[in-house]
A and B are shown apart, each in its own frame.
Chain A
Amino acid sequence: MADATPPSGTGPLGKREARLAWGLLLPTIAAVALVVVLPLLAIFWISVKPVALADLRAPEPVLREDLRGGPEVAGDQAQIRYRLRNSSQEQPILAVSFRDVVPEGLLVQSVDARCVLEGRDLSCDLGDWEPGHRETLSIPVVVEQAYFDNDVAPQDSAASITGQSSNVLTNSDFTLDNFARIFSGDEFFEVLWVTLFYTVFGTIGALVVGLFAALLLNKSFRGQGILRGLYLFPYVAPVIAVAFAWLILFDPFSGSVNALLVQMGVSPQAINFFGERPLALIMVTVFEIWRYFPLSFLFILARMQSIDSDMFEAADMDGASPFQQFWYLSVPQLLGILSVLFLLRFIWTFNKFDDIFLLTGGNAGTRTLTVNVYEQAFAVSNIGAGAAVAVVIFGCLLTFSIFFLKYISQEEGL
């Protein structure tokens, strides 16, 4: 008898389990592929295309039909009129054709040479249209009693019209102008510097403030729960609401902060907090810290509360002072969560768009890379350049992620 060996490879049960797992994951994978991966690929494609905002509306043939001649009784003459035009003033449409159904009770007398009438089905082959092409097609008819009985007008059956137009998104025009454009000039380096300042100080600030808040609440007293809930408000409230509240609070003409500063004699005249060059960038960074310190606070507090208190009692017995306990006991325990938070917050701050967009719209020296995507694509109406900035962002993120994945595998938590 052969030696009994443990089975190797994947057995049928294992295979079934794996199949089930993939089955359960399939919807998620499909959705993510559709909404995340596909757009990412599209971004690369668009970034090498000369696309402007106006190009998004592909040229299309437009058709309107009505019955002219005002027939009143059976036997009257009338015309079915088709008004046709090319919606684009710049691009031709090729091989335009349409089909329509002539309503019952309209007897067609003759048709245009380009059209064919079979029974009541009318089909016309109109050939190629120049940019801005317009024409009117009239078909004379005699009206019969059935038309009045049915009460079906020609426009009640919609004509279907088709034509081929070249779309800049799908044709084979490629260009590197988008990249040349965004990298040219000092502007790009200013954007990069602003992004870096915002990201680094926003991240570190939120961590430090969050750590301070966590130290405050890391003891149990009455009202601790309420304070903890309160300190999370900035994170939970809709960004648009708090951004506008800040704008109104710091308004140079009627903001309370300016009134307060003038009254207290700190500043002789009102300060335009979100409109002056170095100040605006500092203010959006402060807003970022304000809005996201609750998140770091929550994670740091959770970690603190899981530290064993015996250690602190022992240290206390040995005569360690409060600051020593913090520095030699708490900080090393918190280092893991702090570094993970730093990495995550760094990437998310780098990606942040809404806050700056709402506060300054990227003016007064606060244009970060993400705001630049919007600026290029929608303010300058150059979708291609916007996509090129997005590609640059994606490149940066890829670098971060490689670093992140290498690092996070060594860290507990998250």
Chain B
Amino acid sequence: MNLLRQGYVTGPALGALWLVVLSVTVSVAMSFATGEAFRPSIVLSLAWGAVAGAGMVAFGRTRVVQLAVLAVMIAVIAVGIGPMETGADTGAVAGLIGAVVLGTAFAASLAPFLKDVVSGPLGRHEFEAAIIRFLTGFGYIFFTAIVLIPFYVMVMTSLKNQSELIQNPLDFSIDFSKGAELFRSYNELFSDFNFGTYLFNSFVISVTTVFITLAFAIPGAYAVARLRFRGQAAFSRSILLIYMVPMIVLALPIYIAFSMTGLRNSFVGIVMIYPVTTIPVALYMLQGYFRGLPSEVEEAGLMDGLSRLAVIWKITLPLSLPALASVSLYVFMIAWNEFLLAFMLLDDPSRFTLTRGIAALNSSEIPRQHLMAGSVVATVPIMALFLGLEKFMTKGLTAGSVKG
């Protein structure tokens, strides 16, 4: 441990690891952006990173040293012994851009990492702070990559055609010269695959589910939060238990019952089931919020002669609009994303929801850019809604516990 806490050890070690992280990141990013061959060299990254780290510790983290690191990086990459290698047929411009990006990122970020790392023994604080800065940098890159790459691939695949995809699976650049042709998959989805109908179906079903859920959950949550009755504690506890029942266990008898009564392939059937899966969550979230409201306001209303129901309608609900918004959003999200029940209960293409429609696209005869275009169509509305109302959503999710 003491050996590690020497400036001459910490600096090169962090430099080496950081250059590995960056060269992998830049190689992957450049491969995706240009479709050409970039590959990180782990051994050379470790070596050059250590050299740069040692240099920064020895000569200080000044602008001059940073520029020197940048120059060396670009030079060694150009010569071909750098932390990132390019394929034989990689264009010179792309190679140069990659080298500049990697060099700049490394030179610019290594200096703050090694801010307090001086030659000689380090204090525990300085050492750990440097480690934490390294981990933070790594964390931002790691999380952003794992979250963005699948969505990026989804969007880009939907804009390509079959031969382009097979030819080079790494090429995710957009060819703008194709113009409207880029959106061919989307056109075909809406003209040949009825996605307009599915979008409308999903929307209607989700909105209906939100309203039915609220109609059931608001009175229930109010009763649990405000009124005294025997079994109140047991009741609020058992709401949680309903979360615990897996959907597939319920789906089987529901499938049987719906098959026998002819409710399959009907909106009525779906709208009967969806709200019940969301009522417990909504009730739990709302009762938490209702408890937080000052009961004095309601008591004043009661004293002035309002009935309980009028109190709920005229006092409690207007006060809890933010909670209602987040619960509605959350319920909307569950209903919009629901797959299992839609998959089991809907066979008739005119009644498909979006998720069921996408499942129908998963066949070997339908090109997979259609599948991805369908996924984008299903994802974009819920993302837009979510990003626009992110504050409500995060609050709502943490206010009550949440079904996964």
Contact A36 B248 (CB under 8 A): no
Cα(A232)–Cα(B330), bound, Å: 13
Tell yes or no: A213 within 8 A of B by CB: yes
Tell yes or no: A354 within 8 A of B by CB: yes
Contact B146 A290 (CB under 8 A): yes
Which listed residue (A57, A254, A397) contacts B244, Cβ 8 A? A397
Contact B140 A400 (CB under 8 A): no
Q: Given A20-B308, A229-B390, A414-B401, A260–B372 Cβ distance below 8 Å? A: no
Q: Given A20-B223, A394-B249, A233–B151 Cβ distance below 8 Å? A: yes
Tell yes or no: A256 within 8 A of B by CB: yes
Complex interface bits, B322-359 against A, C-beta within 8 A gives 1, otherwise 0: 00000000000100110110000000000000110011
Q: Given A17-B227, A40-B249, A354-B339, A31–B276 Cβ distance below 8 Å? A: yes
Among B50-58, B60-68, B185-193, B379-387, the stretch in contact with A: B379-387
Cα(A40)–Cα(B252), bound, Å: 10
Q: A58 to chain B: which residues have CB within 8 Å?
A: 260
Q: A302 to chain B: which residues have CB within 8 Å?
A: 394, 398
Cα(A77)–Cα(B242), bound, Å: 67
Among residues of A, the one whose C-beta sits closest to the C-beta of B279 is A28
Cα(A255)–Cα(B32), bound, Å: 12
Contact A353 B259 (CB under 8 A): no
Q: Given A240-B375, A393-B246, A24–B219 Cβ distance below 8 Å? A: yes
Number of residues of chain A lying within 8 A (CB) of chain B:
101
Contact A248 B227 (CB under 8 A): no
Q: B372 to chain A: which residues have CB within 8 Å?
A: 244-245, 248
Please name the 4 residue pairs, one residue from A and one from B, whose CB atoms are nearest each other, closest first.
A351-B246, A241-B375, A18-B229, A24-B219
Cα(A18)–Cα(B220), bound, Å: 13
Q: Given A24-B219, A236-B386, A256-B169, A264–B279 Cβ distance below 8 Å? A: no
Which listed residue (B132, B146, B249) contacts A393, Cβ 8 A? B249
Please report B residues at the A interface, Cβ cutoff 8 Å: 27-28, 31-32, 37-40, 87, 124-125, 128-129, 132, 136, 139-140, 143-144, 146-151, 153-154, 157, 165-166, 168-170, 172, 215-217, 219-220, 222-224, 227-230, 232, 235, 237, 240-250, 252-254, 256-257, 259-260, 272-273, 275-276, 279-280, 283, 308, 333, 336-337, 339-340, 354-355, 358-359, 362, 368, 371-372, 374-376, 378-379, 382-383, 386-387, 390, 393-394, 397-398, 400-404
Q: A27 to chain B: which residues have CB within 8 Å?
A: 215-216, 219-220
Contact A242 B150 (CB under 8 A): yes
Among A83-91, A103-111, A340-348, the stretch in contact with B: A340-348
Cα(A275)–Cα(B64), bound, Å: 52
Contact B394 A298 (CB under 8 A): yes
Q: Given A27-B216, A345-B404, A394-B249, A321–B128 Cβ distance below 8 Å? A: yes
Contact B337 A43 (CB under 8 A): no
Among A94-102, A120-128, A369-377, the stretch in contact with B: A369-377
Q: Given A256-B153, A290-B146, A42–B253 Cβ distance below 8 Å? A: yes
Q: A48 to chain B: which residues have CB within 8 Å?
A: none
Cα(A42)–Cα(B333), bound, Å: 29
Contact A244 B362 (CB under 8 A): yes
Q: Given A35-B250, A216-B139, A25–B235 Cβ distance below 8 Å? A: yes
Cα(A121)–Cα(B110), bound, Å: 95
Among residues of A, the one whose C-beta sits closest to the C-beta of B254 is A39
Shortest distance from the beta carbon of A299 to any chain B beta carbon, whole Å? 6
Q: Given A28-B279, A254-B169, A259-B169, A241–B128 Cβ distance below 8 Å? A: no
Q: Given A228-B394, A414-B401, A241–B379 Cβ distance below 8 Å? A: yes
Cα(A321)–Cα(B219), bound, Å: 51
Given contacts A216-B143, A238-B337, A321-B124, 19 further A-B contacts (CB under 8 A): A17-B229, A18-B228, A31-B276, A32-B276, A36-B276, A43-B249, A46-B253, A238-B355, A240-B355, A241-B358, A244-B358, A245-B153, A248-B368, A248-B372, A249-B150, A350-B246, A351-B245, A383-B256, A390-B249
Within 8 A of B (CB), among A205-228: 212-213, 215-216, 225, 227-228
Contact B252 A36 (CB under 8 A): no
Among residues of B, the one whose C-beta sits closest to the C-beta of A169 is B256
Q: B253 to chain A: which residues have CB within 8 Å?
A: 38-40, 42-43, 46, 387
Contact B276 A322 (CB under 8 A): no
Shortest distance from the beta carbon of B94 to any chain A beta carbon, whole Å? 14
Tell yes or no: A59 within 8 A of B by CB: no
Which listed residue (A256, A353, A386) contacts B247, Cβ 8 A? A353
Cα(A228)–Cα(B147), bound, Å: 11
Contact A347 B244 (CB under 8 A): yes
Q: A6 to chain B: which residues have CB within 8 Å?
A: none
Tell yes or no: A401 within 8 A of B by CB: yes
Can you list 11 A-B pairs with a CB-CB distance of less than 8 A? A32-B279, A36-B242, A42-B253, A42-B256, A251-B169, A254-B166, A259-B168, A321-B124, A322-B129, A353-B247, A377-B252
Contact A237 B143 (CB under 8 A): no
Q: B27 to chain A: which residues have CB within 8 Å?
A: 264
Tell yes or no: A408 within 8 A of B by CB: yes
Which listed residue (B125, B148, B248) contacts A374, Cβ 8 A? B248
Q: Given A236-B333, A322-B125, A370-B248, A245–B154 Cβ distance below 8 Å? A: yes
Q: A264 to chain B: which residues have CB within 8 Å?
A: 27, 39-40
Q: B382 to chain A: which residues have CB within 8 Å?
A: 236-238
Shortest distance from the beta carbon of B344 to any chain A beta carbon, whole Å? 8
Q: Given A295-B402, A354-B340, A374-B248, A408–B383 Cβ distance below 8 Å? A: no
Cα(A243)–Cα(B374), bound, Å: 13
Cα(A353)–Cα(B42), bound, Å: 39
Which listed residue (B215, B223, B232, B390) contacts A225, Cβ 8 A? B390
Tell yes or no: A70 within 8 A of B by CB: no
Contact A233 B375 (CB under 8 A): no
Q: A232 to chain B: which residues have CB within 8 Å?
A: 386, 390, 393-394
